[in-house]
A and B are shown apart, each in its own frame.
Chain A
Amino acid sequence: MKPRMFVVAAGAVLGLLMSPSSLAATEGGPGGALAKKHGAAGVACANCHGAGMPAKSKGRDAALPRLATRTFCLGCHASYQAVAAKTVHYDGWYNPHVSHYGELECYQCHRVHRASELFCTRCHLDMKLPPSWKASRNPADE
């Protein structure tokens, strides 16, 4: 069942599109995860989870479908291109939103309730991480 989406104020949407200069205040920063960032921008739990809020648990329940898909997140975040425009030359030449993997699902990097992981670092071993992000591990090392 697709979670019910409430109309989010334009200001909240703009607040969610972070510029590179505000990377210091990005998701997962001290005291906050992406969920809290959304909350601070006026997006409530039910806006994503709808009526069927999952019970609080320690980890992600693998039986639940992943919410943070491209289709879902781009319901608010305009377009993949708009997101990519915010991370141009993020690390030297490289833009994590423009790659040889095409348009990855958002959840490949962005964890909502815990520290996000930069998918690129599975192979691009020393790409820089936003504050409080973790590097993805090589699958052979997981």
Chain B
Amino acid sequence: MKKTGSGRKVEGGSDEPTGDARPSGLSRRGFLKGAAAGAAIAQGAGLLAGAPSALAATATPERSADPQGARPVPPIGPPSKWDKEADVVVVGTGGGGLAASVRAAEKGLKVITVEKLSEPGGGTKESALFFTFGGTRYQNAIKWAIPKFPYDPDALVELVMPAYQYTADKLLLRALATKGPECVDWMGDHGVEWELNTANDPVFGQGGHIWKNSCLEGNYTRATKHVTDHMYGVAVRAGVEFLFGTAVTRLVQQGDRIVGVRTRNLEGEDFFVRARKAVVLAAGGFAVNRDLLQKYTPYANMGAGSSFGMPCDTGECTRMGIGAGADIAGLNSTAFFDGGVDWVHEKRGTFHQHLYNGSVQLARQPWLSIDITGNRYQYMDSVPVDNLFHQPAVPMSRPGRRGYVIFDADYETNIFKFKQEYCRRPLRPSMPNMDRVPGWLVGKDWREGVKVALDAGVIKQANTIEALGEQLGFAPGVLAKSVAGWNEVCASGKDDPIYGYKPEWLIPVAKPPFYGIRMGGFLYATHAGLRVTPRMQVVSTKGTIIPGLYAAFHTAGGAIGENAVSGASILADNGLSWASGYIAANTIGDGDRA
């Protein structure tokens, strides 16, 4: 047993290098692939096969009345005159776009990078750490690697393939396993001040590269913004031309080759940018586009109560790739956290929510957790971190695909008894690095987000359990029976271990007012996307490479195989973006050889 700094005991594990350095908290299936694929296949197969469905003709919250959100966007022919010219046009400035921009520029290519928002960073800046299973100079220095030191990319690929149920492309995984750590070191060479996250995470910390001192006391909010801001500066100094407030609206194709893009700026002006060698689509996935979700990841669309896709994951670049003939890899694969508060069901808010909003953090605690039948379900602690990927699968697979947390008036005190970490840890103004978090985006005090949700009626509040049950939609008597049973367990101090509750979590629901939150999973990334070669060239449905077209993750797909409801790649998510942009630029700089 090894004690953490906080006094909690961690089973097994060790910081000392050993022959077998696998942390005991890691199960290979656990970290990489969450819910059972079987359920997903059963639910999704009919929809994916195009079978008629009750959803087809009606508008529901899960599917808009106008499914144009999934329509392919076909390329257009070249203009009579190009407005700008470059060797490489990069679309998006998250990790993939920034890495591709810098790497292409340092290979001597002229780069124009287009960003629809007014600032760089994309979805990546909202993230926390660049995860690798070994191989970076930082990890080599402490002799840490999975499955064992020294790091062996092929051994890692063999280890993870069963978790992906052999649906992933081994050659693609080998490329990611090899180039991921190389990308970390390359970014370090460019001045990114990496440190390993061992201070915060005794189980997985050796895998996580964070900007030095950016995650003090476990505040991960926007931690990667240090890295995206830095790499943006590197790109500017390398001569990359950035066009902000500029959205790509069409790929431009000549013959079978992608030769540029058409863009539109905030003034509504269209202009054409030529790409003499390549267009790199690094524009995120489609986690907020419910039409694309319904078409390519229907299980996620059913189970998601909210999505963290923010404005970056609207999927138009995915649609442009499909319009150019691209195949889709990673069908039905997505990534979730828990805490998808269902604003849409209440008709009080949007599908997209911010992961660090206080209402989400409140929902993600080990309160009494039940489904609509009143039956309890399991809760997994935030340590080890891969539980954050597993937990959403539990309510998502329950009747109605939703779970409910029930708690009482003392929640503001009780929430801290659970000691949940990472994004489950309630934000408070006193935490370090809170200046990173703009108040307009996320309340610096978790209670602000709770108040907004309470005022909107998305968090239900009632003075009796019966009234709360009615508000939440339970059949009469169901909630009262669940609460009574729960309170008995709390009084006895002994719970059925099947639920995974620690003794200190057994807090009764006793003091009015009583609260309840309905939630599904919290979708944060799509892993279905444009099929790519290990060199990030986009592959068509005919199996050919589409000349001139590249994609970085998460516009690209397939990194966690197919039918993975909630999983992580071998570079997690943030690292997947950086590394794939780096690989794409290498390929382009090497002259586009297959």
- Show the binding face of A for B, using Cβ within 8 Å: 89, 91-95, 98-102, 104, 108, 122-128, 138-142
Is A99 a contact partner of B249 (Cβ separation < 8 A)?
no
List residues of chain B with CB within 8 A of the CB of A127: 350
List residues of chain A with CB within 8 A of the CB of B311: 100, 123-124
- Interface contacts beyond A93-B349, A100-B119, A142-B264: sample of 15 additional A-B pairs, CB < 8 Å, sorted by A: A92-B353, A93-B353, A93-B449, A95-B440, A99-B440, A100-B117, A101-B117, A108-B266, A123-B116, A123-B288, A139-B249, A140-B73, A140-B250, A140-B316, A140-B319
Q: State in angstroms the CA–CA spacing of A124 and B307 once bound together.
A: 11
Choose one: B249, B352, B354, B440; the contact of A140 (CB below 8 Å).
B249
Closest to B358 in A: A93
List residues of chain B with CB within 8 A of the CB of A138: 247, 314, 316
CB distance from B260 to the nearest CB of A (A): 15
CB distance from A29 to the nearest CB of B (A): 21
Q: Count contacts on B: residues with CB < 8 A to the other chain.
A: 43
Instruction: Check A92/B456 contact, CB under 8 A, given A108-B266, A142-B249, A142-B264.
Output: yes
Is A93 a contact partner of B452 (Cβ separation < 8 A)?
yes
Instruction: Check A123/B314 contact, CB under 8 A, given A92-B456, A93-B354, A140-B250.
Output: yes
Instruction: Check A92/B117 contact, CB under 8 A, given A108-B266, A138-B314, A139-B264.
Output: no
List residues of chain B with CB within 8 A of the CB of A108: 266
Does residue B357 face the partner (Cβ distance < 8 Å to A)?
Answer: yes
List residues of chain B with CB within 8 A of the CB of A93: 349, 353-354, 357, 442-443, 449, 452
List residues of chain B with CB within 8 A of the CB of A94: 350
CB distance from A126 to the nearest CB of B (A): 5
List residues of chain B with CB within 8 A of the CB of A123: 116, 288, 311-312, 314
Which residues, 344 to 373 on B, are CB-close (under 8 Å) to A? 344, 348-354, 357
Q: State in angstroms the CA–CA spacing of A128 and B352 once bound together.
A: 12
Is A89 a contact partner of B452 (Cβ separation < 8 A)?
yes
Choose one: B249, B250, B314, B449; the contact of A125 (CB below 8 Å).
B314
List residues of chain A with CB within 8 A of the CB of B314: 123, 125, 138
Q: State in angstroms the CA–CA spacing of A91 and B350 once bound together.
A: 7
- Show the binding face of B for A, using Cβ within 8 Å: 68-69, 73, 116-119, 245, 247-250, 264, 266, 288-290, 311-312, 314, 316, 319-320, 343-344, 348-354, 357, 440-443, 449, 452-453, 455-456, 458
List residues of chain A with CB within 8 A of the CB of B247: 122, 138-140
Q: State in angstroms the CA–CA spacing of A73 and B132 once bound together.
A: 51
Q: State in angstroms the CA–CA spacing of A125 and B286 once bound together.
A: 12
Closest to A121 in B: B350
List residues of chain B with CB within 8 A of the CB of A91: 349-350
Is B316 a contact partner of A92 (Cβ separation < 8 A)?
no
Q: State in angstroms the CA–CA spacing of A128 and B344 once bound together.
A: 11
Closest to B352 in A: A124
List residues of chain B with CB within 8 A of the CB of A102: 118
List residues of chain A with CB within 8 A of the CB of B349: 91-93
Choose one: A89, A95, A100, A124; the contact of B350 (CB below 8 Å).
A124
List residues of chain A with CB within 8 A of the CB of B249: 139-140, 142
Q: State in angstroms the CA–CA spacing of A49 and B424 once bound together.
A: 54
Q: State in angstroms the CA–CA spacing of A141 and B319 once bound together.
A: 11
Closest to B263 in A: A139
CB distance from B355 to the nearest CB of A (A): 12
